[in-house]
Amino acid sequence: MSRLKLSIYTSILIVFLATTRVIATDRVKTLVIVSNTDVPIKKLSIGDIRKLYLGYPIKLDGQEIHPIINRSDPLLYVVFLQKIVFLSARSYQRRLKTEMFRSGKREIPEIDDKHELQKRIKEIKNTISFMWLETMQNKTLDNTRKIWSGTLSR
């Protein structure tokens, strides 16, 4: 094999490995719980977060916490349900409706605009929601807690 062919094959291999690495790191996502400064979210366990989003009341320091469902990104919603709530979107919706009719629990509000969501979290006391760490605008919400990080496969 000539030196030219060897250097071409080596260059192709290096480019291939470099692009594969870049693509793989693009799929790493970090899911965070966000709130205004009134909520001590460091005290919330993953189990507490799951209970909140299943409609069960959770109190921290004597104050009830109110969740908001972030529907601004369909992938975010599905990942949150699978990794934190451990339900598919269909099962989750069915379970919430059943609990609402059976026990009279109020519905968890859903917001499909991330700007509106961040505005609500800042304005309404004891409110939490979830979002990708990467999509937080200028880190406007200081009170965040990482709840999941991982690679998403396509």
Judge whether residue 9 has pLDDT over 90: no
For CA atoms 83, 20, 136, 93, the dihedral sign is: negative
**Cα–Cα distance measured from residue 69 to residue 113, given in angstroms and rounded to the nearest whole number:** 11
Is 126 inside any structural domain?
yes
Report CA 49 to chain centroid distance, whole Å: 12
Residue 129, domain CATH: 3.40.190.10
Task: Specify the DSSP class assigned to residue 38.
Answer: T
Predicted confidence at residue 102, as pLDDT, reads: 87
Both tokens of 51, joined, read 């209970």
Distance CA 123, CA 148 (A): 26
114 located within any domain: yes
**Domain range enclosing 86:** 29-151
User: How many structural domains compose the chain?
Assistant: 1
pLDDT single digits (tens) 82-139? 999 999 999 999 999 998 888 877 889 999 999 999 999 999 999 999 999 988 765 6
Among 141, 144, 148, smallest CA distance to 50 is for 148
In angstroms, the CA 100 to CA 47 distance is: 20
pLDDT of amino acid 135? 83
Alpha-carbon span 77 to 75, nearest angstrom: 5
Which residue did the predictor score with more confidence, 1 or 152? 152
- Kindly state the tokens that stand for 38: 């009134």
pTM score of the predicted model: 0.79
pLDDT tens for residues 26-67?
589 999 999 988 888 899 999 999 999 999 999 998 999 999
